Every structure is written in structure tokens, then in C-alpha cells.
Chain A
């Protein structure tokens, strides 16, 4: 059968089914079955249960529920309360300090949690009311939490990177190492932006500055001990090569229980809620992976991958233009589609092209992840927007949230540009560690 026709049919029907709102896992799963049966061979369908089982029972994927549980438990341990208190004493005297401190906490949280929800929800509950009470403009207060929270998938550990790494066949450890500096760069850009806005337009960051003595600041360091210990154990064991990603996730999951116990929040209700939240989010992720697991084999076998590859490589334009084009597609998909769906659909096509063009797989992976991070913030479909809407006071509309993230999205796009110009920002750590 003609690969051009199959490619058009495959992507056309996929687009249609997803656009009318069929659940992603079901749309991808059903279409794969129909396409394999119709255009390849009914026998090829036997790979479906094999792939479903091997994805669901893979030790490498174990990190996904365990890191999600860690985040869910940390969120319930109210560790963020201590962090917020310490941050307030350190940054209270700086213009825009509460917002800058919020970004700092989100960065630290991102180094403990592999998803964006935990930091976004915790800081949405704590920091936004505090900032609004001190006359911060809505745009800054909402934007810094939504954008800061999205760092969770870029700064290791990261659930999204586990999925990307296994689908793209790139080392998850190297991706983790590669995400550290770009994550810090983005956090720094956010802080500089908030500070500069505060200097130019003092009214957007409220009026009251509260300074604390050094004694008070030192006393607040206590709140940082537990989180930093967790970061060091989880990231240290993983990046130091002592534990695999899944093992580090188990240590983190265990550590989050201890953290909750230390904070006196370990009880039946919090554990049960965290367990339930974890299974719902994990199944959402895994069933998309299962639904789409045979998709890439199908389009490789039918020659669709090679067709797209030769079409794009045949364009004979500068490779950076192709790279920019791929990222544009990712950004557009990020507005409407879930991250796991985007990875399952685009990675089998994009990664071979990127490799053929001579790009480093880890570097490309990090650019991909930053684009996904932006996808968490771009309306209409952006997880962080929904998380935030769920916890902010009712006077704040979804429109307020949409508007608040715009400058932060532009900063992240700038960060993508910086990482493209200076690939060493991404590559220096993975090259040094592995």
C-alpha cells in the first residue's frame, strides 16, 4: 500500500478523532487497531498485548507512579509551609521578593517532585493569597506560580523525561543531568523579570517590604533542612550513579513518607489521598502509552516514518530551520494535547530526523521537554492553568490566569533560544557525569 496514502489517512483520522474529543488513549488505541488490521496484517495485532504488558510491567517505568506518589505526599506533608516561611524572611525585603521567593521554592520543589502539579497547587494555595493581600498585581502573582510550577518536568526528577527517554531511546539519567542547568536558567530569567518589573513599575509588586534580622533569617534555615536532604538523597543517588531512576524514585517515595511523619502530617487520610491521586494520574499516563504503543511500530513498518523523514530532509534548508519547525509543531500541539500523547505521536517521527540532522539526542530531548513545559502553560489545554484555577480564590477567572502566563511563556521561549545558541548549557553536566 502506498505510504503517502497511509500517512495521510493515519494522521488525518488521528487529527479528526482527537479534535472531536474522543479520549486520547481510546482514540490512539482504536485507530492503531483499525490501521494495523486494515493495512498491515491481522497477525501483526498480536504485538498489541505484548507491548501493553511490557510497558505496564517495565521496571524502568516504575519511576512514574513512585515519583508521582512522592510529589502527592510532599504536597500533603505541608513541607511548602516551612519553605514559604523561610523564603519570606529571606526575600521579604527585596522588591518583588514574594514572587521571586515563590519561583525559588518552585525550583526547589521541582528538584523533589517529578510533576508540575505539586508545586503549582501548594504555592497556589499559599503564595497567591499572600501576594494578593500585599497588593501584588494578579498577573505577577498568578504567573509566577503557574510558570514556576511547570519547572517540575524540566528539573530532575521528571516523570515526563522517563516517558520521553524510553520512547526516544535516550538515557533518562543523561536527560536528568541535562535538565538541571536549563531549569536553573529559566528560574533565573523569571526572577530577573520579576525584579526588573518591580523596579520599573513598583505598583505591580505591592508596596510593603518587610525586612528581617539575620537572627530571624538563620532561624528560618531550619525549614530548608528536610527538603534539601530529600533533594540530595534522590538526585545525588541518581546522578552519582548509585541508584537507577526507579530505585531513586522508591527512595524518594519513602522519603516523602518520612518527611510527612516529621511534619506530623502522616496519617491514614493523607496516605490514602496520595495513593488515590497517584493511581489516577499514573493510569492516565500509562493508558495513553498502551494505546499508542503499537502506533510507532505501525508507521515505521508502513514506511510512513521514512516518508516524512525523506520529505523533510529533502527540503534542503538549514537544519536549524527544520528544528525550529519541529518545535513550532510541538508548541501548537502543546496548546491542545496532553504531554504523553504528544510524546507518543511525535517522538517516533521527530527523533530520527533530529539524529539524521546531526543534533545531539540529549540536547534535542531537553529542547523537547522545555516545549512540553510551555505546553503546560499555553491555553486552552494546559495542566498548570487547570491546577491553578482549582485552588485560587473564585474572584480570579481563567482569563486572568491565561493573561498572567504570557510574559513567562515568552521568557521560556527565550530560554529555548539560549539553549540552542549555547548547547553547552544543556550538555556540560551530562558529559561530565556520564
Chain B
């Protein structure tokens, strides 16, 4: 009798523990997804800023005869911010396209394995190299006080270059959330 109770208690404890693990996982996924989406949505409005800058520069050049050289630099940097900060959200939304001729015919388990094994291996190589070398790339620019060569506005280039490693960190978070979801769904499925 006592034995059964303790066994039951142990089972209950295991259940509680796994439930807790799942909610922690749930929460982590939730945090990542919320942050990544918020940053991506925020960055999406840069389109309007880029449009405005270029149009205003054209107006200034054609009607007032003054060219704002820095607009070319700045709008290029805004584009970098746009692409690097928006990438993670794009990944989260499943917009990183793939060749799906076989993929759609795979079982959900095989599909999860493609991303968990092959996808993750390639992702780690790609993001790892970009993160490590990208950080160095921005850091060197900071150390040598690199300023913008065109547009005569002497803007610090490291600000723009630092967007690359920041974007890659976000991308890593989005991928982490993606594989955690695959893992979670694998846990719950009867397989």
C-alpha cells in the first residue's frame, strides 16, 4: 500500500516536473518569439524612412540645387538595419523558403529531423562564422575609428557594421525557438 502511494507520488512528481519543464520551455519560446517579432515589425517601418530620405534628397537636389551626399550612406545603413533586424522574424514566420518537392512528402518526424540535424548543423556553421567574424569586423571598425568615406558627414561606420552580429544573434534566437518547438511537438506526439 505504502509502496503504491510512493510510486504514485513519484509518478506525480515526474509529471509535475515534466509539466514544469514544458511550461518553462513554453515561456522561453514565447519570450523569444515576442521579442523577435517586435523587432522585426519595428524594423519594417524603415521602408517609409528610406523612401522619405531618398525622395527628399531628390527634391532638394532638383529644386534647391543642394545634394545631400550622406543620404546615400544613411539609406544604405538603414537597409542593413532593415535586413539584419528583420531576418529573425522572417525565419520565425517560416519565410526562409526551401525546396519542398521531397520535404512536403516527408513524415512530420523526418521533417523535424531535417531541421534538427542537417538544418542546425548548417545553421551553426553559417551563423557561427558570421557572428564571430562579424563581431571582429565591427570591432575593428570601432578600434580604428572608421568614419564614412562618402557624403562628408564623418559618421562612425561601426554603428552600421555592428548591426550584422546583432542580427545574427537574433537569427540564432529565432532558430533556437524553431528547434525547441520541433522538440516540444516531438515530446507531445505519441511516437
Contact = CB atoms under 8 A, between A and B. Distances in A.
A48 B133 contact: yes
B164 A49 contact: yes
A57 B83 CA distance: 9
B54 A53 contact: no
Given A62-B79, A279-B47, A46 B133 contact: yes
A104 to B, nearest CB: 29
A52 interface: yes
Contact of B87 (A45, A49, A283, A337): A283
B22 interface: no
B138 to A, nearest CB: 8
A61 interface: yes
A56 B43 contact: no
Interface in B65-82: 72, 75-77, 79-80, 82
Given A65-B47, A279-B40, A18 B99 contact: yes
Nearest to A35: B125
Interface string A33-60: 1100100000001101110110011110
A27 B136 CA distance: 24
Between A49, A338, A380, the greatest number of chain B beta carbons within 10 A of the residue's beta carbon is seen for A49
Given A247-B54, A291-B126, A53 B137 contact: yes
A282 interface: yes
B30 to A, nearest CB: 20
Contacts of B54: 62, 66, 246-247, 250
Contacts of A338: 97
A59 B125 contact: no
Interface of B: 40-41, 43-45, 47-48, 50-55, 58, 72, 75-77, 79-80, 82-84, 86-87, 89-91, 93, 95-103, 106, 111, 114-115, 118-119, 121-130, 133-134, 136-137, 160-161, 164
Given A62-B50, A287-B83, 18 more contacts: A18-B98, A20-B103, A21-B111, A26-B119, A30-B122, A30-B124, A49-B130, A53-B160, A56-B84, A58-B76, A62-B76, A66-B47, A257-B51, A271-B48, A280-B95, A283-B90, A284-B97, A290-B83
